[in-house]
Structure formats: structure tokens, C-alpha cells
């Protein structure tokens, strides 16, 4: 069974791509091996936009994060938290399954990249 997370980004696709590229450069040991990051796409369906609004984000795009090594779940948790720090909690919500939020451990302003 696959473990996937979806990032709902309030940034436009170009900015989201830039931030994901930064994450890959900063932590290739996480994002090239354990938690694979995929480039963003427009929200898949109207309910996805509605979902992100319920969590306080007006998503302009979404991106997939897929766990490739389930033995490294501690690292996955660190990676997800890094993504929250990178985007800022006002600009991103991470979900898994159809509608379960993976909340951040703290509030983050977002990083300059």
C-alpha cells in the first residue's frame, strides 16, 4: 500500500516549483530517496479547492509527495515538517487520504528562497 501526501499550495505553480526545487537541493537525502516530490498541477477537482479552503488555504495548485521507503517514517515526518517551514503554514496544507490533514507541529512564516 502506497503512502502519499498532497500539498495544497496557495502559491502559483511557478513559485511552488521553485520551492520544491529548493527542498530537493537542500535535502536530496530526503526528497530524492525517501519522500519523492512531484511537480505541481492545478487542483484535480472542485472538491479539492473546497477542501483546501476548509483548511484555510486558497490553493492555486497541488503537488504529490510519495513515500518510497516506509522504513524511514521518522525521516518522512522531518521532511513534511521542512516543507511546512519552506512554504509557511499560511500558504500550505498537507493532506493524506482523501481529506485528512497532516498538521504542522508549529506555525511557520515561510522561508525566503
**Structural domain for 25, as ranges:** 4-101
Q: Is residue 112 part of a domain?
A: no
CATH at residue 70: 3.30.70.2920
Q: Is residue 81 part of a domain?
A: yes
Q: Is residue 113 part of a domain?
A: no
Record the cell numbers describing residue 19, joined without a space.
520551492
Nearest CA among 68, 78, 75, 83 for reference residue 7 = 83
Q: Is residue 12 part of a domain?
A: yes
The number of CA neighbours under 13 Å toward the Cβ of 49 is 8
Predicted local distance difference test score (pLDDT) of residue 2 = 73
Q: Is residue 28 part of a domain?
A: yes
Q: Count of domains in the chain?
A: 1
Average pLDDT of the residues in 101-112: 94
Q: Is residue 109 part of a domain?
A: no
- The per-residue pLDDT for range 42-78, each reduced to its tens digit, is 776 666 667 777 778 889 999 999 999 888 888 999 9
SS3 content of the chain, % helix, strand, coil (to 5): 40, 20, 40
Q: Is residue 55 part of a domain?
A: yes
Nearest CA among 1, 23, 29 for reference residue 94 = 23
The most distant pair of C-alpha atoms in the chain lies apart, rounded to whole Å, by 36
Amino acid at each position: 500500500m502506497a503512502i502519499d501526501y498532497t500539498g495544497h499550495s496557495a502559491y502559483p505553480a511557478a513559485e511552488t516549483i521553485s520551492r520544491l526545487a529548493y527542498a530537493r537541493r537542500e535535502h536530496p537525502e530526503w526528497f530524492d530517496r525517501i519522500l519523492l516530490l512531484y511537480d505541481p498541477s492545478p487542483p484535480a477537482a472542485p472538491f479539492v479547492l473546497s477542501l483546501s479552503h476548509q483548511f484555510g488555504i486558497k490553493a492555486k495548485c497541488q503537488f504529490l509527495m510519495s513515500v518510497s521507503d516506509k522504513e524511514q517514517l521518522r525521516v518522512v515526518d522531518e521532511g513534511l515538517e521542512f516543507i511546512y517551514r519552506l512554504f509557511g503554514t499560511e500558504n500550505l496544507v498537507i493532506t493524506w487520504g482523501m481529506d485528512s490533514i497532516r498538521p504542522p507541529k508549529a506555525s511557520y512564516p515561510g522561508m525566503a528562497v
